[in-house]
Chain A
Amino acid sequence: MGRYVIRRLLQMIPVFFGTTLLIFLMVNVMGDPIAGLCGDRQCDPATAAQLRTEFGLDKPVWQQYLTYMGNVFTGDFGTAFNGQKVTELMATAFPITIRLTLIAIVFEVVIGITLGVVTGLRRGRPVDTGVLILTLVVISVPTFVTGLLLQLLLGVEWGIIKPSVSPQAPVDELIVPGLVLASVSLAYVTRLTRTSIAENARADYVRTAVAKGLPRRRVVVRHLLRNSLIPVVTFIGTDVGALMGGAIVTERIFNIHGVGYQLYQGILRQNTQTVVGFVTVLVLVFLAANLIVDLLYAVLDPRIRYA
């Protein structure tokens, strides 16, 4: 097990450098970051040149990358053009997004798995068909539509929630945005659980559990669910990474100043340091989430052993 973890951690190194380099190059291709700084007017050539030297933009790209990576390993993610440290931005943005992601995951686990179990055990009945159609609708409608609709109805028309989340983003204000963020994944979790439950419900060991005279609840929870959750856990695990980076739309709609919001601003202002810094951390989160999922596999299914 220990050896397996070490091997996986080592495998992360090339992935880490590869992705960061790719992002670095992509941001460079986007155009001259200085050009956008002075608004619609052309920048004063002298100021522009000074800024370029200050941020090291006059050097070749590979050299910029090496300098940047060198700084990253000392904990310095650079400075945004407005003079704020990128690490400072992260310190305010990440807690908010982590909170939002956790709320979304709770929705996925609680609602998604419950609906999946209920429908999986009642295949072809009205509940099943109803939920199935609902999930199809949720999957088909883009997040910005669901988000804006809920914001308009719950926030503006009925005044149940605040349409715009305050800068501190307390948990209660993040519930509706969390639901919006979770919606599509929640529908997938429901469907995945449903299929898995329906498939395993016919398994021999479930029949054995019934023949042992166990109460139905115990048959479902202890025997059926535990076996059926293996693919669902994989999905939710990888979704952690996707949710954290993919909150751009949701965070924009509800004006949440999290990672998605900062990334959006960074891209809009061609703020290389911010974009590369945030994405690098997201890549790390994604890799860690994947590793945890693989380790969870072995916990859920004793037939899997890592050497």
Chain B
Amino acid sequence: MLLEVRDLHVEFHTRDGVAKAVNGVNYSVAEGETLAVLGESGSGKSVTAQAIMGILDMPPGRISGGQVLFKDRDLLTLKNEERRKIRGQEMAMIFQDALSSLNPVLSVGQQLGEMFVVHRGMSRKDAKTRSIELMDRVRIPAAKERVGNFPHQFSGGMRQRIMIAMAMALEPSLIIADEPTTALDVTVQAQVMELLAELQRELDMGLILITHDLGVVADVADKIAVMYAGRIVETSPVHDIYRAPAHPYTKGLLRSIPRLDQKGQDLYAIKGLPPNLLHIPPGCAFHPRCPMAQAVCRTDVPPLYTVDENRRSACHFWKETLDAR
């Protein structure tokens, strides 16, 4: 296994108390595999990713338990310098908003070339040549002329391509893409997603795709992990989950996708709000919003039940959910 997250706990110490952002997350990604991590804002999907990358702001953040096994090494026990060398070389991250995530005062060539200069000890001239190659590879037109341009001189889609190029630069074995298409136009979204999937296949990389867009997931992901209040509530191969969700939350998410065959009907929405991470409800965190909640849901935290060989669901009533369709 390329990456295995085991029972990861992350909390944030704030003035109002301890916010439990990640509460025992388990997931794994193999070489060449795409894992989609799905969830609302505040479900802990980005925080988990930051903990894996080692770019969590600490303090206020604190990793209070668990393991992050990357190529059989626990990253959380490594020294800072060792982790730094893994970042960029062996795992890389693509961020949501490329405009704010790229440095406004350095040319894209400088920002791309930096990877080769720092990690590979290349000369600036060679690094520039490699930057142009990278820009060609992510299909930025006139790469040679544009290598000296600054991020603000590119369109949103082109900027995201530069982010992708930067992540791909040293051909890492794992890429974490944190909502890579959210800030883009719908037409550009598809192009960028396609490019990402294509490069992933070519380089046989593991990909963690963090998103709240179920439409994006269906095409590219191999398996899905759904997160709620810092926990995994369901994991499943991608097609099974669309056919028959085994958790009421997943079901709610799927029902809230607008569909052409339901024209004229009201759009479904999961009632209520995501939980306050300072006071996560006891029992199943989803119970205040769950249409199937019973007394047991208010007291007992559901374990990850085994639905079948490849599927897990953290719902006391996963069977009923599956059957109810």
Contacts and interface: CB of A to CB of B under 8 A. Distances in A.
A126 interface: no
Contact of A211 (B92, B100, B152): B92
26 contacts: A203-B100, A204-B97, A204-B100, A205-B102, A205-B104, A207-B95, A208-B93, A208-B95, A208-B166, A211-B53, A211-B55, A211-B93, A211-B95, A212-B118, A212-B166, A213-B85, A213-B119, A214-B84, A214-B118, A215-B118, A222-B106, A222-B114, A226-B103, A227-B103, A302-B152, A303-B150
A301 B105 contact: yes
A302 B53 CA distance: 30
A113 B98 CA distance: 29
B115 interface: yes
B30 interface: no
Nearest to A230: B105
Interface string B100-114: 111111110000001
B101 A204 contact: yes
Contacts of B87: 210-213
Interface of B: 53, 55, 84-89, 92-93, 95, 97, 100-107, 114-115, 118-119, 150, 152, 166
Contacts of A223: 103, 106
A300 B115 CA distance: 22
A298 to B, nearest CB: 11
B105 A210 contact: no
Given A214-B114, A227-B105, 12 more contacts: A204-B97, A205-B101, A205-B102, A205-B103, A211-B93, A212-B115, A214-B84, A223-B103, A223-B106, A226-B105, A227-B103, A302-B152
Contacts of A300: 105
A218 interface: yes
Contacts of A215: 84, 118
B84 A302 contact: no
Contacts of A227: 103-105
A225 to B, nearest CB: 10
From B88, B101, B102, B103, name the one whose CB has the most chain A CB atoms within 10 angstroms.
B103
B88 A301 contact: no
Nearest to B119: A213
Nearest to B172: A213
Contacts of B104: 205, 227, 301-303
From A213, A214, A301, name the one whose CB has the most chain B CB atoms within 10 angstroms.
A213
A209 interface: yes
B55 A213 contact: no
Q: Is the interface of B mostly helix, strand, loop or mixed?
A: mixed
Contacts of B86: 213
Interface in A205-244: 205, 207-215, 218, 222-223, 226-227
Contacts of A211: 53, 55, 87-88, 92-93, 95
Contacts of B89: 213
Given A213-B84, A303-B150, A205 B100 contact: yes
B53 to A, nearest CB: 6
A214 to B, nearest CB: 6
A213 B105 contact: no
Given A203-B100, A205-B100, A212 B114 contact: yes
B93 to A, nearest CB: 5
A227 B101 CA distance: 13
Interface in A11-66: none
A212 B167 CA distance: 8
Contacts of A209: 103
B95 A204 contact: yes
A21 B85 CA distance: 65
Contacts of A203: 100
From B85, B95, B101, B152, name the one whose CB has the most chain A CB atoms within 10 angstroms.
B101
Contacts of A208: 93, 95, 101-103, 166
Nearest to B93: A211
A215 B81 CA distance: 8
A210 B103 contact: no
A294 B105 CA distance: 16
B108 to A, nearest CB: 11
B101 A302 contact: no
A207 B105 contact: no
A223 B166 CA distance: 16
A302 B114 CA distance: 19
B173 to A, nearest CB: 14
A161 to B, nearest CB: 41
Nearest to A299: B105
Given A214-B118, A215-B118, A207 B101 contact: yes
